[in-house]
Structure formats: structure tokens, C-alpha cells
Structure 1
Amino acid sequence: MTAFPGSPGLLVIHQPERGYRFSIDSVLLAGFSAPHCRGRVLDLGTGCGIVLLLLSRLAPDMDSGVGVEIQPALCAFAERNFRENGPVRRLRAVRGDFRREENVAAPGTFDLVVANPPYGRAGHGRRNPHPQREAARHGIHCSLRELFEAAERYLAPAGRLALILPHGRLPEVRDGAWQVGMGIGEMRPVHARRGAAPSRVLLLLARVAGEQSRELPPLYLHEGEGKYCPEVERICRLFRGGT
């Protein structure tokens, strides 16, 4: 187990020593989602719960959050992180499969759904021998289409879906979202640094009617040698000291 301890008031994040470990993508997703975060929030595939924890600090209008996780060990980490960082009434971890019609969360009641889905498609690319890492990277538990179907089911009528994916999967996102009656409202390309091609894209989706799509200014992740840009550094300071 690895913990990110901090000074008083900072988040303490517990996660597996080996296996799934959250990446900078979770930080980017939380920062992108925060302006749209109010009311009830659902995290599909919460892992150790990092996105909900960050949103609980970044979004004062967030009332409560539910993190659904299919892997028992990761769900236990999320439960511990929610309990130790509190307040307990706001964040709750649920072990379950959000693709199934089971009681993991109440349909049609969430104002925001967030997801940091696996980067690759099942059966594509190099396999990882560690089960947690394989599930996190190659979508063996959930396809993109299944993610959209679940989000559409759990969202309130005016709710939004926020996610981060490789930029190359953007056409797949457009097609998959359209099939469940959703469209892209906002997108923000993410570049490792100025001059580099976009590697990721942050997306905000909603039900299609009346939604206008707009592209936000790009996010350049690094400034200088190995240093995150101020926008990202500000969020990282929530769970580590930083300067």
C-alpha cells in the first residue's frame, strides 16, 4: 500500500503498492469536471476514489458522491480513503458492476457522472500480467459503449458526463455517445507540452437536444523540464506538499 500523506487539511490517498495506481489523468479529470460539479456525483469505475476526493475539495456545490468499483480490493481502498478524508456523509463506495441492472446506484438521479475509462479496447495492444493493471488499461470489464449506456441511465435529465480518453479515440466517442442519445458539449485537448500533438482529450457530454459543442483552449501539461503547469500543480497540492 502507498499513501500520499500531507500536512493537516491535505488529502491522504491510500492505493495498492502494486497493481492499479491512479495517474495524472485523474487529476486532469477532476480539474475539468469541477466547474460542472454540483448536487449528486457518480464515479463509474472509481478505483481508489481519487476523482471524487479531489472534487469534494474543488467543488463547493457538490452535495454527495458515489463511487462504483467492480474490483473488491480497489473498492476497499476507496472506502478507506472516503472514511479517513471525510466527511463520510458525502462520499460512499459501492462494490458492483454498473453495466448490470442491479442496485449500485439510483437511476436518473445524478447531476454529474465522471469516468476515467481504460485507454485501450479489450483484445487490443499488449496485455498486462497484473489483473488490476490489465483491467485499468484495456477495458476487460467495460466497453466504451457500455460506459455511455450506464451514464445515460444514471444521469438526471439535465445531467452531464465528464471523461478523459486518448485523443485518438475521439471518433469512437462521437459514435458511441450518439447511439445512446448523447453528444459532446465541451472538449479540451491535452498536450504533453507546447508543440506536441494532443495525447488526451477531456470531454463533457450531455443529451443531444439543445447542446452546442465547443472546443476549449488546449491544456499544456508540462512547463519546462518535468514541471506541471500551474493549473495542474494547484490540484496536486491537495494531496501532497508541493511548492
Structure 2
Amino acid sequence: MKNLKSIKVFRFKEFEVSHSKSAMKIGTDAVLLGAWTPIEDNLNSILDVGAGTGILALQMAQRSAAETIDAVELDPDAFEECVTNFEHSPWSDRLFCYHASFQEFYTEVEETYDLIISNPPYFTEEPDSKTTSKAREKARFQEHLSFKDLLEGVSILLSRHGSFSVILPVSEQEKFISMANAYQLYPSNILNVKGQPTSPVKRTLIKFSRNKKNTILTEELIIEHSRHEYTQDYKDLVKDFYLKM
């Protein structure tokens, strides 16, 4: 029997997420992306790439009426946890997780998706095991899902009028946009995120589509005025998810 005290559960307003096994625990990045990603009225199918706990797919289920919400996750522990979270959610009939690498998935799946969303690995080089052995940082290593593989898969699986949303370190923004252009994926919306007013921009959220826009809508979000004093813009963005917002 499992020790219930060892099972970490993060409670949102409409669902719960167990994150004891997955290397990537529930964090601000995923919740921001799931809350910010634009939802179109005619959205029928969604794919969460590198699902981890399944948090993004669950947010999409809460926010949309999409009939199909798929996820793909390679790590066996994260996959098991994702499936459990899906089964225990109010939208279990619309959620499904595949245990596969994204490369395997996009070469075998024939259907396309109206929205693809991902909180992908960040590191381009493996973290030094002498300085860190944290599973969270290992999960940010691009060995199993490089930006190239991610963009190639998205270019194959994205429907003609679909969109692709991603969150990245701002240091990767220009590189990622340039790589996406090579796959005929073009940015339409960008949200740059700062922790506090005097902090540098840390994260960038980008929405891509197959249609090149003359103007990219670029906005900035500040999370806190000071420690634990959240800005109204941040609270408005995540209020449908966090219990105390």
C-alpha cells in the first residue's frame, strides 16, 4: 500500500494534480502557459507535448470544449502519474496520454491538432552531474526533445489553421523563433514575463501559426510587486486555477 503522506497533490479550483513521481513538479511556468494560451472558438483537438503531470492538458480541458485532448510523455513515472491525473479529473473522457517519445509519436500519428502546447526542455547541454543531480534539471535537458524535434513534429501535426504555444527562457526566444521560421511557423503573440518590476525578463510565452503576421502582439507581465504581493494582471490571468487567487 502506498504511503499517502508521500503522495504530493497540488489542488486547483477544478482539479487536482499528483506530482510525486514526475521530475517536473507543478510550477509557475506551466500554469502561466495554460492560462495564457489563446483558445479559439472552433477548437476541436489539442496536443500537450512532454506532458509531465498533465497539467497543461488539464488546463486546456477546463478552458475549452475540445473533444480530443491528447498528451505524449516519454518518462514512465511521469506517464503513469499523468494517466492517474487524467482519470481522476472531471474531463477523463476527453483526455488521453500516450507513452512515447515525441519523435515516435509524430512519425506514427496521422491526425492533426488545432492546438499544440508545450513546456519543453530548456538545457541544450546536459547538466553537470557533479554540480547537480536534481531530476527537475535533468528533465530540462534537450537530449530527448530538442527544439528541432519539437518544431519538426509541430510542423507535421498542426492543422492548417492551428496554433502552437510554448514557454521558454527569454534567452532562447530569438533562436527559437528563427528555427520556427524554417518550419513555416510564425509568431503572432508574445508575452514576456518578469518576476518583479525591477527584475529582468525571465520567461517568454509565444504563440505560433502557419500564417505570417505583419505585426506581432507583444505584451509584458509582472508577477509580483514584491514578495507574495501579486500584481492584478497576474491574478486576473491565473484566477481560474489557483485556489487563493
Same-fold call, TM > 0.5?
yes
Matched, 1:4 2:10: yes
TM-score (normalizing by structure 2): 0.86
1:53 aligns with 2:58: yes
- 1:93 and 2:97 aligned: yes
Q: 8 Å contact 1:67–1:92 — kept in the other structure? A: yes
1:66 Cα deviation after fit? 0.5
Among 194, 199, 204, the alignment partner of 1:196 is: 199
- 2-side partners of 1:163 and 1:15: how far apart? 21
Alpha-carbon offset, residue 11 of structure 1: 1.1
2:218 partner amino acid: L
Structure 1 unaligned blocks of 5 or more:
none
What is the CA deviation profile of residues 220-239 of structure 1, one whole-angstrom value per residue up to 9, with x for unaligned ones? Answer: 11133223334444565555
- How many angstroms apart in 1 are the aligned matches of 2:105 and 2:238? 36
Aligned to 2:219: 217
The 5-angstrom pairing of residues 17-96 of structure 1 reads 19-36=23-40, 38-59=43-64, 61-96=65-100
2:186–2:212 CA contact under 8 A, matched in 1: no
The share of aligned pairs that are identical, in percent, is 20
Give the aligned residue type for 1:32.
W
Letter in 1 for 2:19: Q
TM-aligned CA deviation for residue 195 of structure 1: 2.8
Question: For residue 182 of structure 2, what is the amino acid of its counterpart?
Answer: Q
Q: Deviation of residue 56 (structure 1)? A: 1.4
| Gap runs ≥5 in structure 2 | 1-6
Q: Which amino acid aligns with 2:45?
A: R
Deviates more, 1:97-106 or 1:21-30: 97-106
Q: Partners of 2:212 and 2:24 in 1: how far apart? A: 38
Deviation of 1:26 (Å) = 0.3
User: What RMSD over aligned residues (CA atoms) do the two structures have, in Å?
Assistant: 2.4
Cα distance, 1:219 vs structure 2 = 0.7
